[in-house]
Amino acid sequence: MIFDSSTPPTFVFDFDSTLVSIESLDELIALSIRENHEPDEAGKILEEIRKITDMGMNGEIDFPESLSRRLKKAPVNRSHIKKFGSSITESITPGLPAIIKELRTKKYQVLIMSGALIDCVMPVAIKLGIHPSDVFANRAVFDESGRLTGFEVNDMAKTEGKTLHLGKLIKTGYIRGKIIMVGDGISDLEPYRKKIASHFIGVGIHKKRETVMREAPYFFTSVPPLKRHIRLLLNNVEFRASS
Ligand SMILES: [Mg+2]
C-alpha cells in the first residue's frame, strides 16, 4: 500500500460497543419485541435472538443470514427506529467526544464505519461534529406494511465490508493517509490484518472479544489510556499531521 506521507492519517471509528456503549441493532430489536409481546414471551424470543447473534459472532452464519433470521422474529418498524434514534446519543461512550473533538481540531480525517443502521449512527455523528459524508453505515429496507426486512445492498452489510470499502476509499483518493482503526470487533481488526490499515486500536471498554484482545497491537478497557495512546500516536513522526 502506498500512502502519501505528507497527509495526516485517517481515524476510522466503529460505532456499536465503541462510540456507543450498546449494540444498536440488538437494542432496536429488543424494543420492538417488548412493545409487541407480553414480558414472558418477549423474554423467550429475545433468548432465541441472542442465540442467532452468537452464531453470527462465532462465524457459524454470515452477517446477512444473521440479520434476516433476527428480523423474521422482530417486527421492527419506522416508528421504533425513530424512537430509538432520538435517544441514542445518551449511549455515547463518556470521554470519546473529547478525543474526537481534539482530532477534528487538529484536522485529522475522522470516519465512522458501522454495520448499524444510519438512522442510529447519524444522530451520534452530528453530536460529535463528524460530517455526514464521513459516515458509512446501512440503510433500512421495509416491506409494504412498513416492517424492516433488511439492509440495502452495500459494503457495510457485508461480513468484510469495512476492509472492502476502505480499499475503495483509498482507490478513489478519499483516504490519502495511513489508516488507524479503532473498534471492538473482528470487522475492525480485519483491515489491519489485511494491511489496509497501518494501525489498530482495540477497544474493550464495553465488550472484550478474545480474538481482538489477542491480535490488537494495543487494547484498552477504559478511555484515559486510550486517550494517552492516541496523543502519543499523534506525536509519533509516522502518524503526525503535517502543519
Ligand atoms: Mg463494534
- Global pTM value: 0.92
**DSSP symbols for 134-153:** GEEEE-EEE-TTSBEEEE-S
Check pLDDT > 90 for residue 11: yes
Task: Say how many Å lie between the CA of residue 38 and the centre of ligand 1.
Answer: 30
Identify any residues that bridge with 148 across adjacent strands, giving them in sequence order.
142
**End-to-end Cα separation, the chain, in angstroms:** 24
CA distance 39 to 44: 9
Task: Say how many Å lie between the CA of residue 189 and the centre of ligand 1.
Answer: 11
pLDDT band at 43 (very low <50, low <70, confident <90, very high): very high
Domains of the chain and CATH, by start? 10-21+91-235 (3.40.50.1000)
The DSSP 8-state label assigned to residue 179 in this structure reads: E
Task: Say how many Å lie between the CA of residue 17 and the centre of ligand 1.
Answer: 5
The per-residue pLDDT for range 127-182, each reduced to its tens digit, is 999 999 999 999 999 999 999 999 999 999 887 899 999 999 999 999 999 999 99
Task: Say how many Å lie between the CA of residue 116 and the centre of ligand 1.
Answer: 9
The number of residues making up the chain comes to: 243
Mean pLDDT of 204-224: 94
Task: Say how many Å lie between the CA of residue 242 and the centre of ligand 1.
Answer: 30
Specify whether the CB–CB gap between 185 and 211 falls below 8 A. no
Q: Extract the C-alpha cell encoding 58.
A: 462465532
pLDDT at 243: 44
Task: Say how many Å lie between the CA of residue 2 and the centre of ligand 1.
Answer: 28
Specify whether the CB–CB gap between 117 and 81 falls below 8 A. yes
Mean pLDDT of 62-66: 86
